[in-house]
Amino acid sequence: MTPTCDKALGALWGLMAGDCLGSPIQFTDKDRHPHVTEMIPCETFGTPPGYWTDDGSMALCVAESVARLGRFDRADVGRNFVRWLREGFMSSLPQAFDVGGATWSSVAAIEKTGSLENGAEESQGNGSVMRLAPSWIAARACGRPEILRECSDLTHKSRRVRETVGRMAGILDELASSGKTKAVSAYATREDCNNSGWCVSTLESALWAVESTSNFEDALVAAVNLGGDADSIGAVCGQLAGAKYGYSAIPERWLAAIKDRAEVDALFRRFLAALGIPGCDAYPHPSLAADIVAIRTAPAGGDAPASVLLVRRGGEPFKGAFALPGGFMQPGESLEDCARRECKEETGLDIATPSPLPPRSAPGRDPRGWVVSCPFLCVLPPDGGAGIRAGDDAAEARWFPLDALPSPLAFDHAAILADAIRAMP
């Protein structure tokens, strides 16, 4: 079954997050490293927080090929692997790094002979499972299960790796469709978990981390803190936990720390759109909101200052704080229509011709998610705006003199108000 957009993006971004979170403690013995819960720099490779290693680079190579061609072509994926090894294509640094031995010799063989099946029976490293998510998604979306083996065989053609890839893909299927898996980790306790780069132990340790926790963040923290091949155990755990809990369950603070987040996200979405997975727009889009700065001008000759219309928020976030009236744009309406409707609903005020102010788009400006506000200014005469009454999700609606504003205002509304005052005629 093809995973949904949320589960597919979860597996892809889970892979990236696990690689980035685990790489700083890669090669350490279990518990002889700091307990990692945040993206931190990696001394081994000299990388800042949120830089992925070979796991992420190879997964991006697979996704880029499918996004560009609209189908899985193992020869083209092989050429991407060569570009990665030789030119740093899709690497977080200008060059490839953290390259496993079997992967190095296999990619060199692709370059030299064009061979699309590489790796000896004894090459049982985790180089295929660490990058599995894009080939798993392509295999399911195209109804071509052989894609799993074709992608893995490029570097790790051995019976053991093929079996492990098959087991992991089955677990991903179950987690993505029902949130549960019948598979049970070979490891019952943390002490049992082997943190080597063997494909079997990497998958079993990652599965243990998912089994023994109840959310994405705890699973990934449990996985990478096994140390050893921490980035690849993290990359595998991130795929499993991402398929189980979905993209929306990945902590935003981790995603925000990953290098080139917007470019990587756009690539993943083009990859999923190329495979026809519904709901994955090639170009990600924010929610749009309109906020209204209604200002009543000062009476001529008097001492009274101009005033602004504010509402006290009846719900979270910023419950109880004062804010500009406003809200989310609905399907079928223009921003101006949205501004008029929200102002009417929340305050009872009809605004005729709102004029636009600079949009506000700083990441994190709204704790509910990615929200861009398009504010509008509406200037009323000194006797305008009578008969205000709170409605919808506003607990109160009031005119405040500009020299006696409640503080602090919710969101970035103080900055929007400052823009409006500067724009006053």
Pick 80 or 232: Cβ nearer Mg ion: 232
Pick 78 or 228: Cβ nearer Mg ion: 228
Residues making up the chain, counted from first to last: 425
Under 8 Å between Cβ of 296 and 382 = yes
Pick 130 or 272: Cβ nearer Mg ion: 130
236 burial type by CB count under 10 A (0-12 exposed, 13-18 middle, 19+ buried): buried
> CA 3, CA 7: separation in Å to the nearest integer?
6
Find the shortest distance in angstroms from Cβ 18 to Mg ion.
10
Find the shortest distance in angstroms from Cβ 208 to Mg ion.
20
Pick 13 or 376: Cβ nearer Mg ion: 13
Find the shortest distance in angstroms from Cβ 25 to Mg ion.
12
Q: Closest-CB residue for Mg ion? A: 53
Pick 80 or 373: Cβ nearer Mg ion: 80
Find the shortest distance in angstroms from Cβ 43 to Mg ion.
15
Under 8 Å between Cβ of 56 and 235 = yes
> CA 205, CA 413: separation in Å to the nearest integer?
47
- For 117-152, b/e burial (b = at least 16 CB within 10 A) is bbbeeebbbbbbbbbbbbbbbbbbbbeeeebbbbbb
List interacting residues with Mg ion (CB under 5 A).
53-55, 98, 231
Pick 54 or 173: Cβ nearer Mg ion: 54
Find the shortest distance in angstroms from Cβ 83 to Mg ion.
18
Find the shortest distance in angstroms from Cβ 411 to Mg ion.
39
User: Any idea what the Cα angle at residue 281 is, between residues 49 and 81, rounded to 5°?
Assistant: 55
User: What does the DSSP assignment read for 183-218?
Assistant: ---S-SSTTT---SSBHHHHHHHHHHHHHT-SSHHH
